Amino acid sequence: MLVVDSLGKRYGRRWIFRQISFSVSIGDRLAILGHNGSGKSTLLKSLAGLIPPTEGTIKLDGDSRISLGYAALEMALYPQLSVAEHLQLSADLRGVPARTDELLKRVNLEYAADYLASALSTGMKARLKLAMAIQPEPKVLLLDEPGASLDEAGRTLVQEIAEEQASRGALIVATNEPQERRLATHELVLAE
Partner 1 sequence: MNSSWRSEIFAVFRKEVMTELRSRSGLTTGALFAFVTVVTIALATYNQRIEKNLAAALVWNAIMFSSILSLPRTFIGEEEAGTGDLLRLMARPHAVFWGKSLFNVVQALLTGIVLSVMFIIFTNIKLTVPWLYAVSLVFGCISLAGAVTICGALVCRANNRYALAAAVAVPILLPLISLGITGVRIGIGPFETDASFLGGVRAGYGLIGYAIATLVIGPPLYAAVWKS
Q: Which residues bind partner 1 (CB under 8 A)?
A: 48-50, 52, 65, 68, 70, 74-81, 85, 89-90, 92-95, 116
CB of 5 to partner 1, least distance (A): 19
Task: Assess contact for 28 and 141: CB atoms under 8 A.
Answer: no
Closest CA to 71 of 51, 91, 48, 53: 48
Cα–Cα distance for residue pair 161/183, rounded to 1 Å: 10
Give dist(CA 17, CA 66) in Å, integer: 27
Q: Shortest gap between Cβ of 40 and partner 1 (angstroms)?
A: 17
Of the pair 40, 184, the CB lying nearest partner 1 is at 40
Dihedral, 122, 128, 130, 136 alpha carbons, nearest 10:
-160
Find the shortest distance in angstroms from Cβ 173 to partner 1: 17
Q: Which is nearer to partner 1, 69 or 147 (CB)?
A: 69
Distance in Å, CB of 122 to partner 1, minimum? 14
- DSSP codes joined into one string, 82-101: BHHHHHHHHHHHHTS---HH
Residue with Cβ nearer partner 1 (81 or 113): 81
In terms of CB distance, is 98 or 155 closer to partner 1?
A: 98
